[in-house]
Amino acid sequence: MKLEAIVKYFSPKSMTPGAVPCGMTADTLTITDVMASLGMAAAQSAIGIELYLAKAGVLPPDSITNYIEQLATERGKKKPRIAKDGIASPSRIPAHPGRICVS
């Protein structure tokens, strides 16, 4: 399934909920299959999926752009400062929770 095909599941042609097309086979994806795969993709890359859906007009772009702005601001505050000689001092580098610091 291509990412471009996801948009049609958010704006179905039929107004009847649960309407099944006549030519449906066992290999045809259902809305449940599509939404499950969308959830799995969003678990790995939520920002990318939300940006695509905002571009396609499914989601409002304000929420994702505000989130990216907040994320950039927070990560910018955590960035270690570089001394004038171009070397970051070890005391200024924040410890990463998964990294073992040996002094």
- Give the pLDDT confidence score for residue 93 in this predicted structure: 46
- Give the pLDDT confidence score for residue 97 in this predicted structure: 46
Instruction: Report d(CA 90, CA 84) in Å as an integer.
Output: 14
- Give the pLDDT confidence score for residue 102 in this predicted structure: 39
Encode pLDDT of 12-71 as tens digits. 666 555 555 555 566 677 888 888 888 888 888 888 888 888 888 888 888 888 888 888
Instruction: Report d(CA 86, CA 93) in Å as an integer.
Output: 14
**Cβ–Cβ under 8 Å, residues 94 and 80:** yes
- Give the pLDDT confidence score for residue 41 in this predicted structure: 84
Q: Count other Cβ atoms within 10 Å, centred on residue 77.
A: 7
Supply 24's token pair: 């449906």
What are the sequence ranges of the domains in the chain?
Answer: 3-92
- Give the pLDDT confidence score for residue 100 in this predicted structure: 41
Assign 103 a pLDDT band (cuts: 50, 70, 90). Answer: very low
What's the farthest any 2 CA atoms get from each other in the chain? 71
